[in-house]
């Protein structure tokens, strides 16, 4: 799992069985020979993510691996409304997923220019392992043969609601599901945390497209759970983290949020990551936000 505390994953002696030892050496040589071509993953052990978009506008999901793990699906791709994309992963992959909104990669002004309103990775469609710019809602994943785990984090802020569930063989819906949000955070985000963009529909006004965390907005140790506040006893929730928690009870609202949901001990071969899992438009301003997110 990603570390919530930081913001944005031989024996000596002669062998007793010479024939077995030779066989093992041959196997090691075979694996080493294929190492240059990337990680070798058996199809039976592969994990599948279905990345779904239920938003009324396009999203550009992205993923970034933790150190030592491969990039999945080029690190970024496009998913239109109502569609999904299959992403294959090794059985022991660790990293994060997030969604980008309001992207335009053909008119971004060149390399290094911002290509997306939220979650941008250096103006590129394929992030190729780069971490997106906060604020963005993060799905943090740790796949393991002894049981996979994942959570959703708003430690660096929010841009879209997301739900995660297990499906298919080995799925346990009772302990391997993380629900979406009860409210649209962007609709209740205070001015000091807001990320705004010109709204759609010809109005020309500013619309909130993302909401920073207090740590990201102010950079203070007390909000970032660092320095003298780097323990659960000293780093407590604030009025800002409680705003996140009220809207999205299952997510990490700050680094030491003990009430957040973490799906653990999950043995499914397939997982579904759904952006905008609930009906959009329950909160005032959602229609304008959708229009802004659909264009840049």
Q: Which of 186, 179, 180 is nearest to 102 (CA)?
A: 186
Contact 133, 216 (CB under 8 A): no
Q: In this structure, are residues 262 and 251 in contact, taking their beta carbons and an 8 Å threshold?
A: no
Q: What is the pLDDT of residue 204?
A: 64
Between strands 148-153 and 138-142, the pairing is: antiparallel
pLDDT of residue 33: 40
Element (H, E) at 100: strand 94-100
Q: Which two tokens stand for residue 117?
A: 């309103």
**What pLDDT sits at residue 117?**
95
**CATH classification (class only), 47-295:** mainly beta
Neighbours of 223 (CB within 10 A): 20
Q: What is d(CA 155, CA 238) in angstroms, rounded to the nearest whole number?
A: 12
Q: Output the tens digit of pLDDT for each of the chain's 296 residues.
A: 545 544 543 333 333 333 333 333 333 333 344 444 433 333 447 899 999 999 999 999 999 999 999 999 999 999 999 999 999 999 999 999 999 999 988 754 445 556 899 999 989 999 999 999 999 999 999 999 889 999 999 999 999 999 999 998 778 878 899 999 999 999 999 999 999 998 654 556 889 999 999 999 999 999 999 999 999 999 999 999 999 999 999 999 999 999 999 999 999 999 999 999 985 444 434 444 444 444 43
242 vs 174, 185, 228, CA distance in Å? 26, 11, 21
């Amino acid at each position: 799992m990603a570390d919530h505390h930081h913001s944005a994953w031989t024996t000596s002696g002669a062998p007793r069985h010479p024939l077995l030892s030779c066989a093992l050496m041959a196997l090691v040589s075979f694996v080493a020979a294929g190492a240059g071509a990337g990680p070798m993953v058996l199809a039976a052990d592969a994990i599948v993510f279905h990345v779904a978009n239920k938003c009324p506008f396009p999203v550009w999901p992205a993923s970034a691996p933790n150190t030592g793990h491969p990039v999945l699906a080029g690190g970024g791709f496009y998913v239109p409304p109502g569609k999904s994309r299959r992403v294959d992963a090794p059985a022991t992959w660790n990293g994060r997923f997030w969604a980008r909104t309001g992207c335009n990669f053909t008119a971004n002004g060149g390399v290094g220019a911002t290509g997306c309103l939220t979650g941008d990775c250096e103006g590129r469609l394929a992030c190729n392992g780069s971490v997106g710019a906060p604020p963005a809602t993060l799905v943090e994943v740790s796949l393991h043969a002894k049981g996979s785990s994942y959570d959703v984090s708003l430690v660096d802020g929010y841009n879209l609601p997301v739900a995660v569930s297990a499906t298919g063989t080995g799925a346990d819906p009772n302990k391997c599901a993380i629900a979406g949000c009860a409210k649209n955070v962007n609709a209740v985000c205070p001015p000091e945390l807001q990320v705004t963009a010109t709204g759609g529909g010809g109005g020309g006004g500013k619309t909130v497209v993302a909401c920073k965390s207090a740590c990201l907005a102010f950079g203070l140790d007390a909000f970032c759970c660092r320095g003298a506040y780097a323990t659960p006893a000293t780093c407590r929730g604030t009025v800002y983290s409680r705003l996140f928690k009220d809207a999205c009870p299952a997510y990490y609202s700050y680094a030491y949020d003990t009430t957040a949901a973490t799906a653990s001990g999950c043995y499914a071969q397939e997982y579904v990551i759904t952006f905008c899992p609930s009906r959009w438009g329950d909160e005032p301003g959602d229609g304008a936000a959708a229009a802004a997110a659909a264009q840049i």
